[in-house]
Homo-oligomer: A and B are copies of this chain.
């Protein structure tokens, strides 16, 4: 059947050798073309991103239950390392909302917030996550992230956004509230409600209101005032900095901390310290599964941001090298007092919009944040926690998008079940249970669907050589020939189904003389299915019915030639279904 000498498949990536050493360092590629124009583009982007990242880093450290400086530290070494190893030119790496929430959930079960153990657990989690990502990158396991379906990710991000916003309400009320699931959080908030601090609440509401207005109202205002779209966008993103400055000055000027307003307080000045994650087997054992989930979620979020931005400039990113870049960034966080990091959506978009041309923009951002860590931390002494909570609430509510439920419902019930379960379990049982449920359920639903494949009985569309479902189209058929088109690869889970289907259709007392299996949708037949085909052929043979195959694909035919199935086949293998129809119809068997 094959053309001589060309038995090669068109399947790409079949063999996957480890890549050459040079490809592990994308910096070597873009670094040599670096020029003056690129430098000024990158510097401008870095200044803007640095201003945006200062409050964000502090806020996400707070969300993870860590001291504020951990957020700053986690935005310095990781950005530098990603600049060396990452393939995206615009991705900005650091603490992000969902990963910080997952960090809090993972460590909260192990250590008390504010203790030494909590900080060490965060470093260990970052270290483990970095190691997992690196190993996945070297082994080219980036494809594993594909098993997180789009609806599951969308549902998970939405539910996480709701959890994060709820977790910050306590800070806005000025009360201590806890919990890692929505019911826990709500109960804890309701109990704490009587202790609400009115001044904190006023600050929190004002900051939240202002930030919402910045998001919704400021940009149109600036545009009407004649500012360019890109500039207006960037100024809008600087809104949190404005809120931080105003609130810090207010607390300081009015001495509001005497009224019970909680403030950030002393943040140590200096460059990130050298730290060591724990190597205790017990701790590693407890953090391994959370680290795996954080790695995969962080990777998926980061790669989708990087791919979206790269597509806009017709660049490509390499997912396996991204694993190495993010792995190095997390290892960097583990050894410099940080927390788990990944590529963030908002900061990367700002970086991109501000004109970042290469990963050097990230390196300059890291320098900016290092300067902030050394020089600016005394200035945020009076920054109220409620303001940071407000920046988190406003940022994450943009992640909440329940329309995925409607979209999934109208398109496919299986997708709807997966997304609804992901949202409910994430809210009700927490982030780890939620994402695990989503992945397992979507795989189970896929397997269930493929275990009961669509089987169509087909006939000839008149005037063509094309065959379609007899139930949907006006087609020609022959009472002595049954042609079944199986719309799925044959494997262990559906092998028995096909046996039953043929047994139901071809009974001993019918007029059928030929059964043709049209294999246009069969791209693999495993050993279980081969045995079922042999059983079908044998059963049909005892009734004097011949079994034929048509439109068998090259790779499947190669496989069948490896065993003796074709030698025992009572019928023939036809190149096309039309050939089968032509041959069998013109020579009807003598009854």
- Interface residues in chain A, defined as those with a beta carbon under 8 Å from any beta carbon in chain B: 1-3, 6-13, 143, 146-152, 311, 314, 316, 407-408, 410-412, 414-415, 442-443, 446-447, 449-457, 461, 464-466, 468-474, 487-489, 491-497, 501, 503-504, 508, 520-524, 526-528, 530-531, 539, 553-555, 559, 562-563, 575-576, 578
Chain B residues near A501 (CB, 8 Å)? 12
**A523-B11 contact in complex given A3-B472, A149-B492, A410-B563, C-beta closer than 8 Å:** no
Chain B, residue nearest A558 (CB)? B472
In the complex the two chains form, is B554's CB within 8 Å of A469's CB?
yes
Q: State which of B10, B442, B576 has its C-beta within 8 Å of the C-beta of A455.
A: B10
A457 touches B10 (CB 8 A): yes
Contact partners of A457 in chain B: CB under 8 A: 10
CB neighbours (8 Å) of A461 from chain B are 575-576
**Contact at B415–A527, with CB atoms within 8 Å?**
yes
- Are the CB atoms of A455 and B559 closer together than 8 Å? no
The answer, among B2, B412, B471, B494, for a CB contact under 8 Å with A472, is: B2
Whether A412 and B147, one on each chain, are in contact in the complex, defined by CB atoms closer than 8 angstroms, is no
Given contacts A3-B474, A11-B452, A521-B523, 18 further A-B contacts (CB under 8 A): A9-B456, A10-B455, A143-B452, A146-B492, A146-B493, A148-B492, A150-B527, A408-B527, A411-B527, A411-B530, A412-B526, A412-B559, A442-B492, A454-B555, A456-B553, A466-B575, A487-B523, A521-B522
Structural contact, B447 and A147, CB atoms closer than 8 A: yes
**A411 smallest CB distance to B (angstroms):** 5
| CA distance in complex: A539, B450 (Å) | 30
Pair B553/A487 contact, Cβ less than 8 Å: yes
Q: With A471-B8, A554-B456 as given contacts, are A146 and B495 in contact (CB-CB < 8 Å)?
A: yes
> Is B466 a contact partner of A576 (Cβ separation < 8 A)?
yes
A523 near B10 with CB under 8 A, answer: no
B559 and A411 within 8 A (CB): yes
Say how far A87's CB is from chain B's closest CB, in angstroms: 14
Copies in the complex: 2
Contact B523 A411 (CB under 8 A): no
A508–B8 Cα gap in the complex (Å)? 26
- CB neighbours of A146 from chain B (8 A): 451, 492-497
Chain B hits for A553, CB < 8 A: 454, 456, 469, 487
Which residues of chain B have C-beta atoms less than 8 A from A524's C-beta? Answer: 449
Cβ distance A503 to chain B, nearest Cβ, rounded Å: 7
Decide if A471 touches B415 in the complex (CB within 8 Å): no
The docked-state distance in angstroms from the alpha carbon of A147 to that of B494 is 9
The minimal Cβ–Cβ distance linking A303 to chain B, given in whole angstroms, is 9
Complex Cα gap A247–B492 (Å):
46
A1 and B578 within 8 A (CB): no
15 contacts between A and B (CB under 8 A): A1-B472, A2-B473, A9-B471, A146-B497, A147-B447, A149-B527, A407-B563, A408-B527, A411-B527, A414-B526, A443-B447, A446-B491, A446-B526, A449-B524, A488-B523
Inter-subunit contact A520/B523 (CB<8 Å): no
- Residues in B whose Cβ lies below 8 Å from that of A531: 150
Please name all residues of chain B whose beta carbon is closer than 8 Å to the beta carbon of A147 when the two chains form the complex: 447, 451, 492-493
Q: How far in angstroms is the closest Cβ of chain B from A141?
A: 11
Chain B positions within 8 Å of A6 at CB level? 471-472
Specify which chain B residues have a CB less than 8 angstroms from the CB of A496 in the assembled complex.
146
CB of A250, distance to nearest CB on chain B (Å): 45
Report A84 CB to chain B, min CB distance, Å: 25
CB–CB B412/A527 < 8 A: yes
Docked complex Cα distance between A493 and B501 (Å): 28
A8 neighbours in B (Cβ, 8 Å): 471
In the complex, A452 Cα to B142 Cα: how many Å?
12
- A415–B526 contact, CB under 8 A? yes
Q: Which residues of B contact A578 (CB under 8 A)?
A: 464-466
CB–CB B464/A576 < 8 A: yes
Contact: B151 with A527, CB < 8 Å? yes
Residue in chain B with minimal CB distance to A470: B10
Contacts of A3 in B (CB 8 A): 471-474
Closest 3 CB pairs of A and B: A149-B492, A487-B523, A150-B528
Task: Tell me, rounded to whole Å, the shortest Cβ–Cβ distance linking A144 to chain B.
Answer: 9
Once bound together, how far apart are the Cα atoms of A146 and B493, in whole Å? 5
Report which of B1, B311, B407 forms a contact with A527, defined as CB distance below 8 A.
B407
Q: How far is the CA of A562 from the CA of B10 in the complex (A)?
A: 33
In angstroms, Cα B489 to Cα A557, docked, is 20
Contact yes or no, B562 A410, CB < 8 A: yes
Considering only CB atoms, which chain B residue lies closest to A14 in the complex? B452
Query: With the chains together, A3 CA to B461 CA distance in Å?
Result: 12
Q: Which residue of B lies closest to A2 (CB)?
A: B472
Beyond A411-B527, A411-B559, A466-B578, whether A314 also contacts B149 by CB under 8 A is no
Contact of A149 among B443, B470, B528 (CB under 8 A): B528
| Inter-chain contacts of A523 with B (CB < 8 A) | 453-454, 487-488, 521
Give chain B residues whose Cβ lies under 8 Å from the Cβ of A559.
Answer: 411-412
Least CB distance from A458 to B in Å reads 9
Instruction: Determine the distance from Cα of A527 to Cα of B438 in the docked complex, in whole angstroms.
Output: 14
Chain B residue nearest to A539 in the complex (CB): B311
